[in-house]
Structure 1
Amino acid sequence: MMEKKKILLAVSGGIAAYKAATVASRLYQSGYDVKVILTHAAQKFITPLTFQTLTRQEVFTDTFEEKEPAVVSHIDLADWADLVLIAPATANVIGKLANGIADDMLTTTLLATKADVLVAPAMNVNMFNHPAVKKNMETLSTFGWRFIEPNEGLLACGWIGKGRLAEPEELIESVHTYFNEKKTEQTAPLKGKKVLVTAGPTREELDPVRYFTNHSSGKMGYAIAAAAKELGADVTLVTGPTSISIPSGIAVAKVTSAKEMYDATLSRFSEQDVVIKCAAVADYTPTIVHHNKFKKKNDTWTIELKKTDDILQALGERKEHQVLIGFAAETENLEDYAKDKLIRKNLDMVVGNDVSKEGSGFGSDTNEIMMIKKDGSVKTLPILSKEKAAREIFEEVMELMNR
């Protein structure tokens, strides 16, 4: 390695703590500076002396053990790290960190650090699948923390399922990958730029069991967000309900209704350099929302709808320095409707796609797009994977930014 990177290995209390010794040793042998925090519970499984011997560094276990009067230990350690790896991360420590609890050396340090964090969960399969644990992991993901998925197999408790700590080789590879990505970001064309992407459908509630929605899967928007991240941008994804995993390293705002997406997007708009509105937002919402399930009464049910706030229109009216991109999903007269949207909503570019075509509709893994810019230029692409289409979109976005 050209320069030594500093890894803070945080070990919490689970049987998988023994694997952390191998991780510490291999990282040290790979040329990293490694310091270790052990929770009180972790010390029930493995001793500080083990890690001290493997890393040639002092091991940290107690928030109140201040050996250097010139510094506050947990703050100094938080500032020292280039990257934090929590392995194993128990349900307990994940829950504490997600809720801002700082009651030991690990949690006080993690809440103080500005370094990126890799989290490697390890626990019983039922704990891993518990809604509270899932919610806490989602919260940490919104902080930009990355997760290293646990493996499936026979667990120490006797259950078989997902929950085994990733193998040391996988953990070390994740660290290598992180620093390789960072190196790439240093020369990335969108480094330092802020990009906001909206994705997925919205749901407009009718009663506690019914809602209006559309067929959008969110795949195109998620691909655009991932492409922006690969180019080095600071990405925010405002997403309606989807079943897609959040791309790594991306800030997420999860919304449900058109009103929630409107508020989440406009409140962040002023600080963005690029906004790409890919979400399929409801144009109408029920005038009356029933608090209880509406019971069958007659052969027909007439529902009155009212217009939702037009997010793209509002963004176009407020646009200052931002590059603003909209999508036009049509089933006929694609180019005419797309050009009309471009002008009416003050866009820099509109991306049109005919969702009635095979391979270009909602839910597909491919898309056939047409990109129309404010200067009147039109670029039509053949059917591509949505990932490839996203990269093509950003080729045009970067040209607009350079202008």
Structure 2
Amino acid sequence: MNGKRILLVIGGGIAAYKSCELIRLIRKAGGGVTCVLTDGGAQFVTPMTLAALSEAEVYSSLWDLKNETEMGHIQLSREADLIVVCPATADLMAKMAAGIADDLATTLLLATDTQVMAVPAMNVRMWDHAATQRNVGQLRDDGVIVLDPDEGPMACGEFGEGRLPEPDAIFAEIEHWLASSTKDRAHPLAGKRVVITAGPTREPIDPVRYIANRSSGRQGYAIAGALARLGANVSLISGPVALETPRGVNRIDVETALEMEAAVDAALPADVAILVAAVADWRAEASPRKIKKGETGGPPDLNLIENPDILAGLSRSDKRPELLIGFAAETDKVVGHAKAKLDRKGCDWIIANDVSGDVMGGADNSVHIITEAGVESWEQMPKSDVARKLAERIADVLA
């Protein structure tokens, strides 16, 4: 912590009093703290207290002419090694997620390129509300570190998730992040090449009909975006989907399994390949003209041809990436089928999920990571959170 500068944004919640102990811990470790106090935060702690503990000026107004003639809100954020929002209330996180800048705290948070860490604290029902969880997901997608709140008794008399972690736990998170340089910590996959497939394939029957599946591509696209945010050079080979290309990702559009196989091969070599796409197992011997109803005397006979196994082929290839990950969409015996697939395909990980519900096209997912070491099951969460956790796991492995 020696010489490191923390910009501490204090939101308006009863947990604001814990920010005083956090300041003491940072100062004791040799770090410097500059406080930005919101109007709500000032209802719980005073500028005098924060100034005495931090031994620095406390800022609260966007309209301080002395500072704003020098664009003080921008300088405050850019002089810091890390910005910590503690407590991060539901209101403050909603403004951060929406890009609202209506006071000093939200303006500097929008104007910064410094890493931000948010420490949530609120009533359990506010934390569990869909809007708050959506905002947390958006912030994490935007690169904000959002810590998980503690579970326990609250000032309002209720019990559950939403309690601010103890100051020593928050300090440990800050110290852990600062242990690496900001650049290395923010972009651990810099210089790494990743190939990822997503979405369905369409196998033509005739010029107007095709064989396909319900894959929306959401999980694959979320993983591609999460990897790009960690600094990876990502090539996303996509079947036909109605999704925007994640920022910083190179997208290659394909339609059939054969086209996807060729595009994967062309994108190699790579350090990592993640085959999320739901590739059709078979393709039809397509008719060059539309098959007319009734002309075949009943349903047409489709001559089905087995499509190439892209995952198994890549596993045997001399271009095999260092880390090869496949996905298994199952409707029954999910883990058992995934274990068998891991052995059969020869990849490093299989990520299995149950698609008997609304997973294909839905916003949430629950996955099992199958490796030679065993099975790790993750609880149901937004696909963006699955992507973030998986990207971090990959970065740890490659490190």
TM-score higher than 0.5: yes
Match of 1:259 in 2: 241
- Structure 1 CA distance, aligned partners of 2:133 and 2:260? 31
**Which residue in the other structure is 2:127 paired with?**
128
**Paired residue for 1:180?**
179
Task: Name 2:249's counterpart in structure 1.
Answer: 268
Determine the C-alpha separation between the residues in 1 that align with 2:135 and 2:247.
Answer: 27
Q: Partners in 2 of 1:18 and 1:395 — Cα distance?
A: 35
The CA deviation at 1:259 is 1.3
Q: 1:315-330 maps to which residues of 2 (within 5 A)?
A: 316-317=265-266, 319=267, 325=273, 327=275
User: Cα gap change, 1:309/1:50 in structure 2, threshold over 3 Å: closer, same or farther?
Assistant: farther
340, 346, 357: which one pairs with 1:370? Answer: 346
Q: Distance in 2 between matches of 1:103 and 1:392?
A: 37
Distance 1:40 1:264, change over 3 A: same
TM-score by length of 1: 0.61
What's the counterpart of residue 377 of structure 1?
none
Tell me, yes or no, if the aligned pair for 1:87 and 1:119 is still in contact at 8 Å: yes
Aligned to 2:366: none
| Residue in 1 that maps onto 2:319 | 348
CA contact (8 A) 1:238 1:264 kept: no
1:163 shift after superposition: 1.0
Equivalent residues of 2:12, 2:44 under 8 A apart? yes
User: Bigger shift: 111-120 or 59-68?
Assistant: 59-68
Q: Does 1:149 align with 2:148?
A: yes
| Aligned positions, number | 319
Paired with 1:313 and 1:338, the residues of 2 have a C-alpha distance of 9
Measured against aligned partners, the alpha-carbon deviations of 1:228-280 in whole angstroms (never above 9, x if no partner) come to 89xx95148999xxxxxxxxxxxxxxx9x85146x63798227xxxx9xxxxx
Q: How does 1:91-240 map to 2 (within 5 A)?
A: 91-182=90-181, 185=184, 192-193=190-191, 195-196=193-194, 198=196, 234-235=231-232
3-state SS of paired residue (1:234): coil
Q: Residue 14 of structure 1: CA displacement?
A: 0.6
SS of 2:249's equivalent? Answer: helix
Conserved? CA contact 1:194–1:233, under 8 Å: no
- With over 3 angstroms needed to count, the CA separation of the structure-2 counterparts of 1:138 and 1:41, relative to structure 1, is same
CA distance in structure 2 between the partners assigned to 1:99 and 1:393 by the alignment: 29
Report the CA distance between 1:62 and its aligned residue.
0.2
Q: SS at the partner of 2:168?
A: helix
* Change in CA separation of 1:53 and 1:135 when aligned onto 2, cut-off 3 Å: same
Residues 326 and 7 (structure 1), Cα distance of their counterparts in 2 relative to 1, 3 Å cut? closer
**Is 1:71–2:19 an aligned residue pair?**
no
CA distance in 1, matches of 2:235, 2:268: 21
Q: Does the 8 Å contact 1:28/1:55 carry over to 2?
A: yes
Q: Percent identity?
A: 26
Map residues 17-56 of structure 1 onto 2, 5 A cutoff. Answer: 17-56=16-55
Contact (CA 8 Å) 2:88, 2:120: kept in 1 or not? Answer: yes
The CA distance in 1 between the partners of 2:130 and 2:181, in whole Å, is 33
CA distance in 2, matches of 1:392, 1:162: 25
Query: Match of 1:384?
Result: 373
Q: Deviations over 1:279-325 (max 9, x none)?
A: xxxx99xxxxxxxxxxxxxxxxxxxxxx68955544545x4886673
Structure 1 residue 126, shift from structure 2 partner: 1.1
Q: Secondary structure at the match of 1:63?
A: coil
How far apart are the structure 1 equivalents of 2:44 and 2:81? Answer: 27
SS of 1:37 mapped into structure 2: strand
CA RMSD, 1 decimal? 5.3
1:137-178, CA deviations, whole angstroms, 9 ceiling, x for partnerless residues?
Answer: 111111111111111122222222111111111110110111
- Aligned partners of 1:391 and 1:99: how far apart in 2? 25
CA 1:184–1:41: 2 relative to 1, 3 Å:
closer
Give the Cα–Cα distance (whole angstroms) in 1 for the partners of residues 30 and 100 of structure 2: 33
Is the contact made by 2:189 and 2:232 (CA closer than 8 Å) also made in structure 1?
A: no
Task: State the match for 1:57 in structure 2.
Answer: 56
Alpha carbons of structure 1 residues 124 and 315: separation in structure 2 relative to 1, 3 Å: same
In structure 2, the residue matched to 1:88 is 87
Note the alpha carbon deviations across 1:208-233, whole angstroms, 9 max, x for none. xxx9558x9x89x97x999x89xx95
Q: Which residue number in structure 2 is paired with residue 11 of structure 1?
A: 10
**Residue 312 of structure 2 contacts residue 347 of structure 2 at CA under 8 Å; is this kept in 1?**
no
AA aligned opposite 2:373: L
In structure 2, C-alpha distance between the alignment counterparts of 1:104 and 1:85, rounded to whole Å: 17
Query: TM-score scaled to structure 2, two decimals?
Result: 0.62
Query: Could you tell me whether the CA contact under 8 Å between 2:34 and 2:58 is conserved in 1?
Result: yes
Provide closer, same or farther for how the CA distance between residues 49 and 397 of structure 1 changes in structure 2, counting only shifts above 3 A: closer
Task: Give distance in 1, aligned partners of 2:180 and 2:340.
Answer: 25
Greater CA drift, 165-174 or 192-201: 192-201
Change (3 A) 1:386 1:4: farther
Q: SS at 1:18's partner residue? A: helix
Deviation at 1:182, TM superposition (A): 3.4
Q: After TM superposition, give the deviation of residue 67 of structure 1 in Å.
A: 2.9
1:26 is matched by which residue type in structure 2?
L
- How far off its partner does 1:125 sit? 1.1
